[in-house]
């Protein structure tokens, strides 16, 4: 008789002492943060190509900063939901690495201590020259023009925009966390965005148990050890309960 997916997933998670979780927009959506997909790919009538690409920044940096200031304002008001908190609490009994495609910082707010931000952070800016990123603890309402105090070049959000490659060091850290894990969780992601999605498929290939938690089935579902359909905020606290 086939084991119940939830019980199988719970058994895998309860035994693991090294857990890696890949999280996507779905987990942040439960904290009230809209995604481009929710809005039909638009922000105040602008396409993603207008506000989240290197070309957009070169063409109209003021518009791009307006977009990210709006995202920062929403991010500052958002609170971690039970899914974020469950992952943070899991650190009481396991080593947990969170690989997140989100840029809102909610995993850190929840208390997770090992977070790899695959796509950057709303709370950092970086120079379009060669200076290292600058961290900001508070929401930024950057005046225009926004220039680096070190070299005078324009500052931009420390975000991986569409068409840009992820930092090789970030990918290396993510791969290492996946390889060291005893169970790999995939939460609130379509398993379509590369190269993040490839980490989950590589876990499957290497025989690491993969537990998927998502509102709908994805290309990963048929390969995962267990797929749980529903809200992460409802499922994760039960799944990861000691």
Q: Domains along the chain?
A: 1-33+79-119+166-242 (3.40.50.1220), 34-77+122-159 (3.30.1600.10)
Average pLDDT over residues 173-196: 95
Asked if the bond preceding 131 is cis, omega within 30° of 0, the reply is no
Tokens standing for 184? Answer: 């790999």
Poorest-confidence range of 90-94, 139-143, 177-181, 213-217? 139-143
pLDDT of residue 69: 87
Poorest-confidence range of 10-14, 107-111, 190-194? 190-194
pLDDT of residue 152: 86
DSSP state of 219: T
Question: CA–CA distance from 42 to each of 48, 49, 108, 158 (Å)?
Answer: 6, 9, 28, 21
pLDDT of residue 105: 96
pLDDT of residue 21: 99
pLDDT band at 136; cut points 50, 70, 90? low
pLDDT of residue 153: 87
pLDDT band at 131; cut points 50, 70, 90? confident
Average pLDDT over residues 1-17: 91
Other Cβ atoms less than 10 A from the Cβ of 58: the count is 11
pLDDT of residue 145: 58
pTM, rounded to two decimals = 0.92
Helix (H) or strand (E) holding 49: helix 48-51
The sheet carrying 134-135 orders its strands as: 134-135, 120-127, 155-159
Annotated active-site residue in 84, 107, 119, 136: 119
Region of 51 on the Ramachandran plot (φ > 0 left; ψ -120 to 50 alpha; else beta) = alpha
Share of the chain above pLDDT 90, in %: 67
Tokens 């929403």 map to which residue? 74
The β-bridge relationship of strands 210-214 and 226-229 is parallel
Give the residue with greater pLDDT, 3 vs 181.
181
Give the residue with greater pLDDT, 46 vs 26.
26
- Asked if pLDDT for residue 119 goes beyond 60, the answer is yes
pLDDT of residue 134: 73
pLDDT of residue 2: 66
φ/ψ of residue 90, rounded to 5:
-60, -25
* Cβ(55)–Cβ(205) below 8 Å: no
Tokens standing for 172? Answer: 């290396």
Q: Among 114, 74, 71, 64, which residue's Cα sits nearest to residue 94? A: 114
Asked if the bond preceding 32 is cis, omega within 30° of 0, the reply is no
Tokens standing for 232? Answer: 């992460």
Region of 99 on the Ramachandran plot (φ > 0 left; ψ -120 to 50 alpha; else beta) = beta
Active-site residue, 119 included: yes
């Amino acid at each position: 008789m086939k084991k119940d997916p939830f019980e199988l997933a719970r058994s895998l998670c309860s035994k693991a002492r090294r857990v890696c979780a890949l999280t996507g927009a779905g987990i942040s959506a439960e904290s009230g943060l809209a995604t481009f997909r929710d809005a039909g790919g638009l922000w105040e009538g602008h396409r993603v190509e207008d506000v989240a690409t290197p070309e957009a920044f070169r063409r109209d940096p003021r518009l791009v900063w307006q977009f990210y200031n709006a995202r920062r304002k929403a991010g500052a008001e958002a609170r971690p939901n039970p899914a974020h908190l469950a992952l943070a609490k899991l650190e009481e009994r396991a080593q947990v690495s969170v690989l997140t495609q989100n840029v809102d910082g909610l995993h850190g707010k929840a208390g997770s201590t090992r977070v790899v931000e695959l796509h950057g952070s709303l709370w950092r800016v970086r120079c379009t020259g060669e200076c290292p990123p600058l961290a900001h603890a508070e929401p930024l309402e950057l005046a225009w023009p926004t220039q680096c105090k070190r070299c005078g070049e324009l500052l931009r959000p420390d975000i991986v925009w569409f068409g840009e490659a992820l930092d090789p060091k970030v990918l290396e850290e993510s791969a290492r966390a996946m390889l060291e894990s005893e169970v790999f969780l995939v939460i609130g992601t379509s398993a379509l965005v590369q190269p993040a999605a490839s980490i989950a498929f590589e876990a499957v290939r290497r025989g690491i148990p993969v537990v998927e938690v998502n509102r709908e089935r994805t290309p990963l579902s048929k390969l995962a050890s267990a797929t749980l359909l529903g809200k992460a905020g409802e499922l994760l606290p039960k799944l990861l309960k000691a």
